[in-house]
Structure 1
Amino acid sequence: MKNYSVRTDLALEEKERFASDNVEVQGVVLEEEYDEENEIRLTRVVIETENGAKIMGKPTGIYLTLESPDLALEVEENSRVLQERICDCIRELIFHKISCEDGKELKILFVGLGNRAVTPDALGPYVADHLEVNRHIVKEYGKYAMRTEQLIVLSAIVPGVMGQTGMETAEIVRGIVYETKPDLILAVDALAARNSRRLNRTIQIADTGIHPGSGVGNYRNAMTEESLGVPVIGIGVPTVVDAATIVNDTMENFITALEQSQALRSTGEILRSYSPAEKYEFVKELISPHLNGMFVTPKDVDEMVHQISHTIAASLNLLFSDINAGESE
C-alpha cells in the first residue's frame, strides 16, 4: 500500500480503495442511498478525524457524491429531479458552513476554475457563462430592485490558469475576496477519476474547498477557508481518467476471461491473487515512461462538458431563486 497512489479527486474512490483491500479507516463514515426510479445514487463521505484525513489524503469535512447517467444530457431532457438533488446538496453544505438570517444579504462569489481553451478543463468557465449574476444590479439599484427581502448577491470570476495569467488562482481570488468581502465561495472545477465509468456522470460537492490540478499531479495553491478567509464549497465533475486506470480496467477484464478458460484458468487465478495495489503498480510499470503521465477523456467530451455546465448552472440558479423566494432553512 505504500506506493499505491491512485490519481483521483473523489473522496468516494479513496474510501473504495481501502474497502477493496478490506481496510477499515477509523474516523471516516460512508453512507449511501439510491433512488432507483431516477437512477440517482448519493454517497456521503464524512472525514471526522485528523487521522482519517491523513489516511484518506483529504481534509476533514463532508463530501457528497451524486452519480447519474443523466448528468450529461441536455437540460431540457435532463431529469428535473437531478437538478433538485444537486441543488439540495449544495444548499445543505452552504447552510452547514454559514447561517442565513431573514432579511440579510448573502454574498456569494462563484469561481469558475479551469482553462476555457482546453475542453476537459473548461467546466468552471462554462458554468460561469450561464449563471444569473446580480451583484452589479444590487450595487446600482439596491436589493429592493430584486423584489425580495432575502437576497443572494452573486458575483462570478473566471481567473484562468497560471500559464495564462502568471498568477496562482488562489492569489487572484484572495484579492477579489479582500475587495468584495463575500460570505462564501462556490468553486467549480473539472476533476480526475479513478473509475472510467464515473466520467461525466458524477458530481462531487465538498465543504473543504478545492485543490486545483491535484488529480492530474499539477498541485497549485489550495482554495480553502484557511487560505482565503471565507468558507469554500468545491463542486467538481471528473472529465479525465489516468491512462494507467484504463489499462488496469482492461487487465481486470483480461483476468476474468482467463478464469473462464479451462486451459488458462490457473494463470487467471494467479493474477487474481494480486491485491488491487499490486496490480495497479504493475500496470504503471508496464506503461511507463511513455503513457504513465497520460490522461484520457471521452471523444464527445466537448458536448458532455457543455451539457454538464448547463445542468450545474441550472441547479445553482434554482438554488439562488429558492433562497431569494424565502425557501432557505
Structure 2
Amino acid sequence: MIEKYSIRTDLALEQKERFEADNVEIPGVVLEENYDEEREIRVTTVRITTENGARTMGKPVGNYITLEAPKLAVPDEYYHREVSEEMECFLRQLLPAEKKDCSVLVAGLGNRQVTPDALGPYVADNLNITRHIVKEYGKYAMGKDRVDPLSAIVPGVMGQTGMETVEIIRGVVKETKPDVVIAVDALAARNSKRLNRTIQLSDTGINPGSGVGNHRNAITKETVGVPVIAIGVPTVVDAATIVSDAMESLIRAMETSDTLRGVGVVLQGYNAAEKYELVKELIAPHLNGMFVTPKDVDETVKRISYTISEALNHLFGS
C-alpha cells in the first residue's frame, strides 16, 4: 500500500513537506525559505541538485521557487502589484544569463472553456506583444532603450486540436527561434489553503495536464530545443485531499471525546500514506478522480492572470 502512495500535487514545496512530515531527509534536495512579514509573502526555493533527489521527489533537477501570498485571492490592486514585482525579480534569475537581448515565447497552456484551466490563455490575452513591432521597426520603435521581443501562443488542449501541445510549441519554436519559452499553466495543490494564493516558478519545464492525472508529453529544453521556464498557479485540489484533511480534523476531535477516543487512537496510528490510501478506497468510485475548485475561481483566475502578465510585461520592457 505504501509503495503506491502518491500525493496529488504539482508543487515541489508540497512534495518536500511530505518527506519532512515523515522526518525523512532527501540527499540532493536543498530548501531555502524567506518570509516578508510586512507584505505577508513567503518565498520558498526548492533546489533539486542530483538525479537521486529528482527520483525521490518525482521532479526533474532544477530550481522551484514558490511564492505564497494569502491575499492573492483578494481584489487588492496594491498587493497584486507587489506580488508582480516579486515575481519579476525571480523570473529574471531564471532567464538564461548569457543572453543580453532575449527573444521570448509565452505559451498560455490550458483550456479557455474551463475556467480553472484558463489561466494560461488569460495571461496571453493580457501580454503586450512586441515581436512583430521590433522585427519590423527595431527595438527603438517602442520608445525604450531595451525591449525584448515578446510573442505568445495559446495552443489549446489535445481534445480541441488533435495535437500534443509540445508538437505545436516545437513547431513555433523552430520557425520563430525564441531564446526561451515561458509556459503558464494551472496546477493542482495538496493543501486547499494554497489554491489561488500560490505561484510556482521553475526552470525545468512543465507536464501539461499532470495535475489532474492527464499526463501529456513534457515541454522541456530537451523536447522543444530552448530553455523552458514554467509559471503555475494551483486552482484545483483532489477530492481525496479534502476528505483526508477532514479525517485529520475528525481524529483530533475524537481524541478529546471519551466515547470515541479509542477509535481516534487507532486512526492516529496510520501514517500519512496509509490515511491517504484509505481515503481513496473509501471515496471510490464515486468521488475518485474528482477535483474541486473555489466558487469564485472565474474572478480570481482573471485577477491572478493579470498579475502574472504584468510581471512579464514589465520584465521584458513593454
- TM-score of the superposition, structure 2-length normalised? 0.97
1:207 is displaced (CA, Å) by: 0.3
**Equivalent residues of 1:73, 1:308 under 8 A apart:** no
Root mean square deviation of aligned Cα: 1.2
2:289 aligned with 1:293, yes or no?
A: yes
1:298 is displaced (CA, Å) by: 0.7
**Equivalent residues of 2:80, 2:307 under 8 A apart:** no
Match of 2:196?
A: 200
1:148 is displaced (CA, Å) by: 3.5
- For 1:211 and 1:80, the matched residues in 2 are separated by 28
**Equivalent residues of 1:108, 1:185 under 8 A apart:** yes
Alignment of 1:36-115 (within 5 A): 36-74=37-75, 76-94=77-95, 97-101=96-100, 105-115=101-111
1:14 is displaced (CA, Å) by: 0.6
Match of 1:327?
A: none
- For 1:292 and 1:316, the matched residues in 2 are separated by 37
- For 1:78 and 1:247, the matched residues in 2 are separated by 32
Letter in 1 for 2:277: E
Letter in 1 for 2:183: A
**Equivalent residues of 1:42, 1:67 under 8 A apart:** yes
Q: 1:256 aligns with which of 246, 252, 255?
A: 252
Match of 2:214?
A: 218
Match of 2:314?
A: 318
> Secondary structure of 1:30's match?
strand
- For 2:5 and 2:37, the matched residues in 1 are separated by 34
Match of 2:231?
A: 235
Letter in 1 for 2:142: M
Gaps of at least 5 residues in structure 2 are: none
Q: 1:79 to 1:293 in 2, by over 3 A?
A: closer
In the TM superposition, structure 1's runs of 4+ consecutive aligned residues that sit over 6 Å from their partners are none
Match of 1:10?
A: 11
- For 1:192 and 1:76, the matched residues in 2 are separated by 25
**Equivalent residues of 1:138, 1:153 under 8 A apart:** yes
> Secondary structure of 1:192's match?
strand
- For 1:26 and 1:76, the matched residues in 2 are separated by 41
1:152 is displaced (CA, Å) by: 0.6
Match of 2:180?
A: 184
- For 1:292 and 1:190, the matched residues in 2 are separated by 20
1:215 is displaced (CA, Å) by: 1.4
1:76 is displaced (CA, Å) by: 2.4
> Secondary structure of 2:185's match?
strand
Match of 2:155?
A: 159
Deviates more, 1:201-210 or 1:141-150: 141-150
Letter in 1 for 2:40: E
**Equivalent residues of 2:119, 2:185 under 8 A apart:** yes
> Secondary structure of 2:70's match?
coil
- For 2:157 and 2:76, the matched residues in 1 are separated by 28
Letter in 2 for 1:278: E
Gaps of at least 5 residues in structure 1 are: 325-329
- For 1:165 and 1:185, the matched residues in 2 are separated by 20
2:28 aligned with 1:27, yes or no?
A: yes
Deviation sequence 1:200-239 (CA, Å, 0-9, x none)? 0000000000110111111101000010110000000000
Match of 1:174?
A: 170
- For 1:304 and 1:151, the matched residues in 2 are separated by 30
Query: How many residues are aligned here?
Result: 317
Deviates more, 1:258-267 or 1:22-31: 258-267
1:89 is displaced (CA, Å) by: 1.2
1:79 is displaced (CA, Å) by: 4.2
Deviates more, 1:7-16 or 1:71-80: 71-80
Deviates more, 1:308-317 or 1:38-47: 308-317
> Secondary structure of 1:152's match?
coil
Match of 1:284?
A: 280
- For 1:276 and 1:38, the matched residues in 2 are separated by 33
Match of 1:142?
A: 138
Letter in 2 for 1:57: G
1:142 is displaced (CA, Å) by: 1.6
Q: 1:146 to 1:75 in 2, by over 3 A?
A: farther
- For 2:293 and 2:56, the matched residues in 1 are separated by 28
1:289 is displaced (CA, Å) by: 1.1
- TM-score of the superposition, structure 1-length normalised? 0.94
